[in-house]
Structure 1
Amino acid sequence: MTYEQKLSIKETVPFLREHGTQLTGYFYERMFSHNPELKNIFNMGNQANGKQKNALASTVLAYAEHIETPEVLTEVLKSIGNKHVSLNIAPEQYDIVGYHLLSSIKEVLKEKATSSIIEAWAQAYHELAAIMISIEEKMFQKNAEKKGGWKGWRTFVIANIVEESNTVKSFYLVPKDGGAIAEYLPGQYISVKMFVPSLGHEQPRQYSLSSTYMPSHYRISVKKEKGNAKTPDGLVSNCLHEKKIGDEVLVSVPAGSFFANILPEDSLVLISGGVGLTPLMSILETCKALNNKNKVIWIHGCKNEELHAFKSKVANLEHNNDWLTSFVFYEDGLTENSSVKKGRVDLSVLKDKILINKAKYYICGPEPFIKVHYHSLITFGASKESIFYEEFGPQLLQIKE
C-alpha cells in the first residue's frame, strides 16, 4: 500500500469506531442475499445474536488502526486462519467477501466513500486476503501431511453417546472409512457439520476435543444450548443432542491456536466456566496419559451440581492422583467445604494455592469470565506470557492491560 492509501484507511477509523457494526451488519445481509450458499459456512446462530457482526467490526477496526503495523495482528490472524481451515474456506470465497465488503462501504458511507477511500480499502483487503490465504494454505498442507490427516470434510459415525450432566453429552466419533485420524494438541477443536431442518441447509460448528488423543476416535462434549428472550436455542447443539448411535456427521481435521504444550516441569492451573471445561478436560487427560506428574490445579464454576459435567471423572482422577487438586464454585450451592465453594468463581479465595512459580494458566469460558480472571491473575503477579485463554464463539477478544 502507498503512504496515501494508508492515510485514506486511517480517515475511516472514526466512522468504524462509531458505526462499524452498522457496516458489518449491512455487509452480511447483502452477502447472504446475493450468495445464500454461504449460509452453509457461516454460523447463523452468531448472525442472529449479533456476535458475528460485532467480531467482524472489531477486526476491520483493528486492521484500520494498525494499517501501518499489521504484523501486531499476527496472532489474531492465525486464530482466524485456524477457524477458516476448519471450515474449509477456499481462496475464491475471499473474492466474494471482498466484493460485498467494498460494495457495503460504498453503500453505507455514501458520499463519504470517495474514490481514494474505496481504492485504498480495495488494496488493503487484497493484501489482507493474500496474507490469510498464505497462512491457511500452509495450515491445509500441514494438516494433510499428518498421519491420518485430510483436507475438507470427512464422514464420521457416532459410535457412542454418554451423558456427562443434565445438559452435556459426549459424542464418540469414528471415521466411516475406517482409516487413521490425525493427532491433535490438548485444547484444540474440530468442526462438525450437519443438516439443520429448521434452516433448510447445513451448518458447521466448532467443538473442543474433550479427551486426550486416542487413535480410534474423537470425543466432543456438547452442551444443549437453550435460548431465552434475547437468544434462540442452539441450532446445531440441539440437533446434535437428537442424534443416535450410528448417525453420521461431517468432520474437519483438528485445528486451533489454544492448546497446552505440556512439559514435565510445568505446573498447570486450569480455570473454566460452564461448558468451557471441555478443552481443559483434554489437557487434564493428556497430563494423566503422559504420566509426567505435573502439578495441576483445576478451578471450575457452574450454576449447580446437576450441570457440572465430568464431575465424577475429575473426582476419580483426583482421588487416584496426588498431582491433581480441584475446586468448584456453584452459583446455587447449598453447602461449602475445602473444595466446594458457593457463588461465582473467585480466584482471590484460592490465591495462595494458584500462585505457583513458573505455572501456566489456561482460562476457558465466555468473554466476561475470561476478562475477570485474566485481570485477577495479573493483579496477583502472574505474567501475561503465562496466561492463555479461549473464548467460545467468534474468538476476537483482545485483553488490554
Structure 2
Amino acid sequence: MKAEIITTGDEILLGQIVDTNSAWMAQALLSLQIQIAQITSISDREEHILEALSNATQRADLIICTGGLGPTKDDITKLTAAKFFQTSLVRNEGVLTHVRGIFEKFNRTMPDINLGQADVLSNGEVLFNDWGTAPGIWVAHEGKVYVFLPGVPFEMKNLMSHRVLPKLQEFNSQEKIAIRYILTVGIGESHLAEQIADIEDAFPPHIHLAYLPKIGLVRLRISASGSDMVQLEEELDHYAKLLINRVGDAVVAHDDISFEEAIVRSFVESKETLATAESCTGGNVAKQITEIAGASAMFQGGIVAYANQAKEHLLHVEHSVLAQYGAVSEETVIQMARGAQKQLGASYAIATSGIAGPGGGTEEKPVGTVWVAIAGKTEVKTKLFQFHQDRILNIERTTAQSLLMLWNLFQKEKGI
C-alpha cells in the first residue's frame, strides 16, 4: 500500500511554521508497512486542493490531507473535497453536540461560525476528535482511501493514533519494507561513501543505501523492499554487518537513535555522569542531552556562565587567567570544565567559550573563534575551532563538536 500526504496552509508555504505533521505521519505509517509515495504542501486555494487530490489519486492508495478543517473562511478543505467527490456536506448532530460540549466545558458561548465544524462529507465516516472541535473524515472512494485531518499537531496525532491507524491495520500490504540504521560520527559523508563504495555497489536492486548527514555525523539507512520479510531482514543483517565492520570505530549505534541518545545510553550503562559549563552555546549542549528520556540518570547539571564574573563565581575560573588570556582561550575553558566537574560532582564535563557573532570579534579572535574543553577521569582534552559568521550555525557546530569530543574521550577512558 502506498500513501501520499497533502498538507494545506499558506503558513507552511510562507515558512511561518514547519511541517512536522508529515514526518510524524510517515513514521507512523511505516510501522504498518505503508510507504509514502509523495508529500505535497499546497496553499489554501480550491484549485490547488483539487489538483493535489487528483494527482495523489494517480500515485497512491491512501491519501491523507491535513489542515483546512477549522471554522474560518480560509478553511475550505471540506467544501473542496465535497466538490472533488461530487457530493455534499451534511450536518452531523453527534459532532455538533461534541463541539457545543467543548464550549460549555469552558463556560463559553459557541459562535455561530463553529456550527460549520459539524458539517461533514455525506460519503464519509466521521472520526471524532476527542481533543478539538474539528472532526476527521474517512472516505472510501473508487478503491482509494482518503483521510482528512485537522492540521493542529496534537489533534492530528490523537486522531491518527486512535482512529486512523487502527482502521489501517485491517489492510494487508503485500509489499514489505525492512530498514536498518547505522549512526557514524567523526567521518564526512564523501569519505564515508568512498570507504564503503564496493559494499554499496554489490547491493542487489531491491536494497538501497541512503546517507543522512548532519553536523558532525552521518546516519546510514539501509532499506530493502519485497514480499518476504524474513528474507529481507536476513539480507539487511548481512549487509549492515559488512558496513559496520568496514567503518569500525566511527560507528556509534546500530539503532534509529540520535547521537545524544547514544551518549546518554552509554553513560548510564557505564555509570558515568556529565556536567556542562557553557558560555557561547548558552545551554544548548545541556538542552540536547536533557531532551533525551533517561538523561537524569547521567546528567548532573549545567552552568551557563556567560559573563566573566559568572565564570569566576560559579566555576572558580581564576581572575588572573581571564585577565591574561581572555574568556575565549584554552586556559579558561580548561578551568571551566574542571570547575563544572568539581562543583557538580560529575565524572565528565564539557566547557565551551567563543565568539558566536555577528559582533564581538577582533583581529586576533574573529567571529567564529571557539574553544572547547572536555574534562575526563584522567585528562582534559581541548580544541580550537574557527567557524564562520553565522551565530546560530556557530552554536550548532560548537555543540556538535563538543559532543563528539566528549564521545572520543569517553571511549578512550572506558574501563578506567
* TM-score, structure 2 as length reference: 0.23
Q: Larger Rg: 1 or 2? A: 2
* TM-score, structure 1 as length reference: 0.23
